[in-house]
């Protein structure tokens, strides 16, 4: 095998397009130079349709968790009542962050592998007799491959409470539709290394005017992640309060160009096709999936590993075919593996990963599945060409 041919199907980080790598190689510029404000403004505004935001998107240097933390640190004051939808490891992380900032966190626990239904959230919110400051939810719960119905949940939040609605879109923004105003989202956060086709290191926070007002008045202590500093620096100088990750921002500019060239509607359709190909292919070889078609994310698919040989799929995919997939997290460790199909991913890539899974199953279990998943995925693809 050519050792430099490695195939990344983890649900983040994801492959980087060559032209994005080239863009990141541009000569360094000083962030207090004349050039930087033009670059930052270009990226912050071109990301607006991708985030469904009416305001420019704030860019932080940090991983996705820094954006989650920023959302919590700038809104939560000691003993605020906060609701978090916990449908997997990342909802759980959001809840832990809120607890760290002194909130009274009410966790709405959803079975891992299922999406939160609006009725579940409505009933839960109605059962809390106190004023709720914010409701946090995860758009794509990466640990289970579930896409929560963020629009419908937002309707419930605004019907039942006066709370802010804060959404973690780390593993799907750039691949799915979103409309902050229409869906009642006040803060939407994301990271660079998933559907946005960049290396890890940038975090994004989109805030509406209501959220900005709450953040302005929030008395909680914070420094590096104080969003007021970022908003003020952008407002006055189109800059950032601290040294930005300039090269990654150049990369983000190229990503915006790519999304515009393909057309964001087509990007969304491509991800729906990738999801259908993966799911239909795996169903054809009778591999159990963790989520229903209805709840499944277009960016990541969780596959059950039910018997001893199947638990070795992840290792064999890597050893024999240089394919990296994700494992299970927390209570799903050893129970599933996860295929990321987001960002710089095409139907041909899906054929590659499905073919490798077929061969791996043949190795492990002697199952005669060669060509079956691939054939089914090709049939799905042909319906769309
Ligand atoms: C939904 C979700 N939220 C938050 C994070 C955390 O992002 P990071 O690992 O970049 O800090 C991830 C990372 O996988 C994620 O998938």
Ligand 1 centroid to Cα of residue 64, in Å, is 5
Residue 338 labelled as part of a binding site = yes
pLDDT score recorded for residue 310? 73
Contacts of residue 245, Cβ cutoff 8 Å, sequence gap at least 6: 61, 201, 202
Domain ranges (residues) in the chain: 7-14+264-384, 18-260
pLDDT score recorded for residue 308? 76
CATH of domain 7-14+264-384: 3.90.1150.10
| Ligand 1 atom, smallest distance to 172 CA | 1
Give the chain's radius of gyration (CA, Å): 21
CA distance 10 to 322: 12
CB atoms within 10 A of CB 127: 9
DSSP string, 205-216: EEE-HHHHHHHH
Residues with CB under 6 A from ligand 1: 12, 63-65, 68, 90, 138, 140, 142, 168, 170-171, 191, 200
Ligand 1 centroid to Cα of residue 367, in Å, is 35
DSSP string, 52-115: T-SSPPEEEES-HHHHHHHHHHTT--TT-EEEEEESSHHHHHHHHHHHHTT-EEEEEE--TTSP
pLDDT score recorded for residue 319? 94
| Ligand 1 atom, smallest distance to 191 CA | 10
Among 171, 193, 329, the mutation site with the greatest number of ligand 1 atoms within 8 A of its Cβ is 171
Domain 7-14+264-384 shares a fold with domain 18-260: no
pLDDT score recorded for residue 273? 98
Q: What is the pLDDT along the chain (385 residues), one digit of tens a residue?
A: 777 889 999 999 999 999 999 999 999 999 999 999 999 999 999 999 999 999 999 999 999 999 999 999 999 999 999 999 999 999 999 999 999 999 999 999 999 999 999 999 999 999 999 999 999 999 999 999 999 999 999 999 999 999 999 999 999 999 999 999 999 999 999 999 999 999 999 999 999 999 999 999 999 999 999 999 999 999 999 999 999 999 999 999 999 999 999 999 999 999 999 999 999 999 999 999 999 999 999 999 999 998 877 789 999 999 999 999 999 999 999 999 999 999 999 999 999 999 999 999 999 989 899 999 999 999 999 999 9
pLDDT score recorded for residue 385? 92
Ramachandran angles phi, psi of 209, nearest 5°: -70, -35
Contacts of residue 284, Cβ cutoff 8 Å, sequence gap at least 6: 372, 373, 375, 376
Ligand 1 centroid to Cα of residue 365, in Å, is 34
CA distance 142 to 149: 14
CATH of domain 18-260: 3.40.640.10
Q: What separation in angstroms does the CA of 151 have from each of 93, 107, 243, 298, 311? A: 22, 20, 35, 16, 36
């Amino acid at each position: 095998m050519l050792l430099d041919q490695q195939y990344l199907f983890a649900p983040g980080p994801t492959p980087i397009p060559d032209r994005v790598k080239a863009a990141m190689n541009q000569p360094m510029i000083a962030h207090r130079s004349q050039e930087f404000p033009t670059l930052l403004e270009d990226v912050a505004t071109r990301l607006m349709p991708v985030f469904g935001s009416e305001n420019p998107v704030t860019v932080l240097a940090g991983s996705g968790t820094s954006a989650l933390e920023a959302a919590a640190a700038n809104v939560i004051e000691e003993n605020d009542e906060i609701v978090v939808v916990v449908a997997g490891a990342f909802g759980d992380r959001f809840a832990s962050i809120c607890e760290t900032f002194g909130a009274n966190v009410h966790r709405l626990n959803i079975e891992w592998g299922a999406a939160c239904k609006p009725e579940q959230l409505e009933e839960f919110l109605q059962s809390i007799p106190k004023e709720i400051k914010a409701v946090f939810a995860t758009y794509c719960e990466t640990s289970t491959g579930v896409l929560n119905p963020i629009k419908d949940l937002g309707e419930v939040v605004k019907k039942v409470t006066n709370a802010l609605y804060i959404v973690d879109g780390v593993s799907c923004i750039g691949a799915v539709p979103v409309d902050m105003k229409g869906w009642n989202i006040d803060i939407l956060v994301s990271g660079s290394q998933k559907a946005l086709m960049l290396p890890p290191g940038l975090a994004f926070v989109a805030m509406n005017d209501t959220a900005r007002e709450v953040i302005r008045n929030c008395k909680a202590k914070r420094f590096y992640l104080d969003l007021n500093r970022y908003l003020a620096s952008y407002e006055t100088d189109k800059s950032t309060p601290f040294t930005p990750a300039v090269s990654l921002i150049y990369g983000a500019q190229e990503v915006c160009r790519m999304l515009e060239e393909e057309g964001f509607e087509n990007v969304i359709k491509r991800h729906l096709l990738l999801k259908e190909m993966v799911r239909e292919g795996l169903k054809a070889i009778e591999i159990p999936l963790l989520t229903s078609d209805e709840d499944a994310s277009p960016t990541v698919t969780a596959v059950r590993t039910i018997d001893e040989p199947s638990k070795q799929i992840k290792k064999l995919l890597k050893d024999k075919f240089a394919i990296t997939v994700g494992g299970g997290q927390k209570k799903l460790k050893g129970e599933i593996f996860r295929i990321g199909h987001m960002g710089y991913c095409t139907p041909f890539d899906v054929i590659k990963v499905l073919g490798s899974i077929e061969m791996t199953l043949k190795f492990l279990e002697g199952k005669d599945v060669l060509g079956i998943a691939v054939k089914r995925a090709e049939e799905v693809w042909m319906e769309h060409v």
